[in-house]
A and B are shown apart, each in its own frame.
Chain A
Amino acid sequence: MTSTQPAPTPQPIVPPLITAKNLSLSYGQSKVIDSADFTINEQDFVCVVGANGSGKSTLIKAILGLLKPRTGKISFGNNIKRNSIGFLPQDTKVDSNFPATVFEIVLSGTLGHLGIKAFYRKKDKAKAEEALKNLNISKLKNTSFSNLSGGQKQKVLLARALAATSKILILDEPSNNLDYKSRQEFYKALKNLNQSGLTIIMITHDLDAEDLIGNKIISIKESKVACETTTEYLRRYK
């Protein structure tokens, strides 16, 4: 009796989540990014590195749709819409004494899904509750933002970004102003989110190996963009 091996089921080709082709970005006449090509796949954890003013935030703005490319384009796979990307801006842009409760802030993350509706729906509130729970900060729900520590504030802003997305999270230098312990806790939370399926793009100013926690690095130097694995990057620079 001969048995025939079943033919292996062909794996579906998963298109990249974000693809940049021949992407050039500029402010007025000054070119910031020149002809960049890179892809970001589902569940990648990408660290964007480069010196001050190299164009890291500019690249993020372009991915978020806040800056139009001079040439080239950024396209999204897996039905991603720009307003469903979770974004955590630099913490210096948020007034730390702003009168708002944690829940008010986290709930505002769901506004991108509301369309023209004026009021939050039950599912938006549930999404915000879930984001708080994922980061173990449910007990802070009714606490005032101004009464939180630096690390807690970052977690609240991360929860707001999570309420906005279940697919892509973009963070602009999230570990600035965090002490060592808070930073490690924050990175641990990010790793957990990445392992649960979230694609993360994080600008990091710090080039210590312990801050390069992702699997991929996008480095920007003199307007040129390189995209490689973290191992390759560390081999070249460390």
Chain B
Amino acid sequence: MNWLFEMLSYSFMQRALIAGILISICAALTGVSLVLRKNSMIGDGLSHTAFGAFAIATVLNFTPIWFAIPVVIIASFFVLKLSGNKKINGDAAIALLSASSLAIGTMAISLTKGVNIDLNSYLFGSVLSIGWSDVWLSLGLTAVVVLLYVFAHNRIFAITFDEDFAKAIGIKTNVYDVIFAIICSLVVVIGMRLLGALLISSLIIFPTLIAMQFSKSFGRVVMYAVLISVANFALGLAVSYLITSPTGATVVIVNLIVLITTYTIRKILSS
């Protein structure tokens, strides 16, 4: 167990662990609604947008996170608007946004000379990039998301299960859509520094899919998704330290192994 104490003795690992756990909580809570409403790819589209925004901000010498947050929030509204447009499918809108943002980001970096940008850390994340400001930002976001879930979980359930019915009984579904779009954007932008643009959406999707193997109750799926998300992140971070592998990829692989295992066990038990 010495390696564990050694790992936790590094301040960058402490920051990564705290920020990662907080982002995992937010991603799991947001993910339940996104996955069950079949909007899982929104996280993916927004993370690519965040990559483009980070690249442009770095080239223009802006603070990346403060530039990326409004850009990604605007992009999330754009996706929401297009999702409601019958002429363009929501998934086509997300694919459009992903490819365009990735292309703009890559082009901005490649055309700029004299700026040293580590493309890999944007795409795949880096534990070294997490500062205390990210930890405080994650803490604030987690507080907001947890309070939202505590006080509006019944309405979130109604909207997630059947939006038409929720509208009919007077729930302002468009207000919740906007809140979710903002939260999802913040989760992606803050989490992207840790897990990378290509992997952050896994933190949104995997916990819900795993939790659904255990329970058929919405309340329990939410609770299990949070616990699974936190446990898998902590395990992934520890394994990545132990075998010196990339953190983002390790967290995703841990989630994948847990999903395959739980799915197999459920299939065996149900047959």
Pick out which of these stretches binds chain A: B8-16, B51-59, B216-224: B216-224
Give the chain A neighbours of B3 by CB distance below 8 A: none
B216 touches A147 (CB 8 A): yes
Pick out which of these stretches binds chain B: A10-18, A83-91, A189-197, A201-209: A83-91
- Cβ of A79 to closest chain B Cβ, rounded Å: 16
Give the chain B neighbours of A161 by CB distance below 8 A: 165
Bound CA span A159–B53, Å: 48
Give the chain A neighbours of B212 by CB distance below 8 A: 99
B164 touches A89 (CB 8 A): yes
B162 touches A66 (CB 8 A): no
Tell me the nearest residue of chain B to A87, going by C-beta.
B168
Give the chain A neighbours of B150 by CB distance below 8 A: 118
Quick one: which of B82-122 are within 8 Å of A by CB? none
Bound CA span A85–B165, Å: 10
Give the chain B neighbours of A119 by CB distance below 8 A: 154
- Cβ of B177 to closest chain A Cβ, rounded Å: 15
Q: What are the interface flags for A86-129 relative to B under an 8 Å C-beta threshold, 1 for contact and 0 otherwise?
A: 01110001110011110011011101101000111000000000
Known A-B contacts A85-B168, A111-B171; A100 and B158 likewise in contact (beta carbons under 8 Å): no
Does B151 sit at the interface, judged by CB under 8 A? yes
Tell me the nearest residue of chain B to A160, going by C-beta.
B165
Tell me the nearest residue of chain B to A57, going by C-beta.
B164
Of the candidates B38, B152, B168, the one having the most CB atoms from chain A within 10 angstroms of its own CB is: B168
Does A64 sit at the interface, judged by CB under 8 A? yes
A144 touches B217 (CB 8 A): yes
Tell me the nearest residue of chain B to A103, going by C-beta.
B217
CB contact between B218 and one of A64, A100, A120 (< 8 Å): that residue: A100
Interface SS of chain B = helix
B: number of interface residues (CB 8 Å): 27
Give the chain B neighbours of A99 by CB distance below 8 A: 36, 212, 215-218, 221
Give the chain B neighbours of A146 by CB distance below 8 A: 216
Does A164 sit at the interface, judged by CB under 8 A? yes
- Cβ of A82 to closest chain B Cβ, rounded Å: 7
Tell me the nearest residue of chain B to A118, going by C-beta.
B151
Bound CA span A171–B215, Å: 30
- Cβ of B184 to closest chain A Cβ, rounded Å: 20
- Cβ of B141 to closest chain A Cβ, rounded Å: 20
A89 touches B218 (CB 8 A): no
Does B136 sit at the interface, judged by CB under 8 A? no
Bound CA span A100–B218, Å: 5
Quick one: which of A54-68 are within 8 Å of B by CB? 64-66
Give the chain B neighbours of A107 by CB distance below 8 A: 154
A111 touches B217 (CB 8 A): no
Give the chain A neighbours of B36 by CB distance below 8 A: 95, 98-99
- Cβ of B38 to closest chain A Cβ, rounded Å: 8
Bound CA span A108–B150, Å: 16
Quick one: which of A160-196 are within 8 Å of B by CB? 160-161, 164
Tell me the nearest residue of chain A to B212, going by C-beta.
A99
Tell me the nearest residue of chain A to B214, going by C-beta.
A99
Give the chain A neighbours of B38 by CB distance below 8 A: 95
Tell me the nearest residue of chain B to A108, going by C-beta.
B158
Provide a sorted-by-A list of 17 A–B residue pairs whose CB atoms are within 8 angstroms: A82-B170, A89-B168, A99-B36, A99-B212, A99-B217, A100-B217, A101-B217, A104-B219, A107-B154, A108-B154, A111-B155, A111-B166, A111-B169, A114-B154, A118-B152, A119-B154, A146-B216
CB-based closest 6 A-B pairs: A144-B216, A83-B170, A112-B169, A87-B168, A118-B151, A108-B158
Given contacts A85-B168, A89-B165, 11 further A-B contacts (CB under 8 A): A87-B165, A89-B162, A95-B161, A99-B217, A100-B217, A104-B157, A104-B219, A107-B154, A144-B216, A145-B216, A160-B165
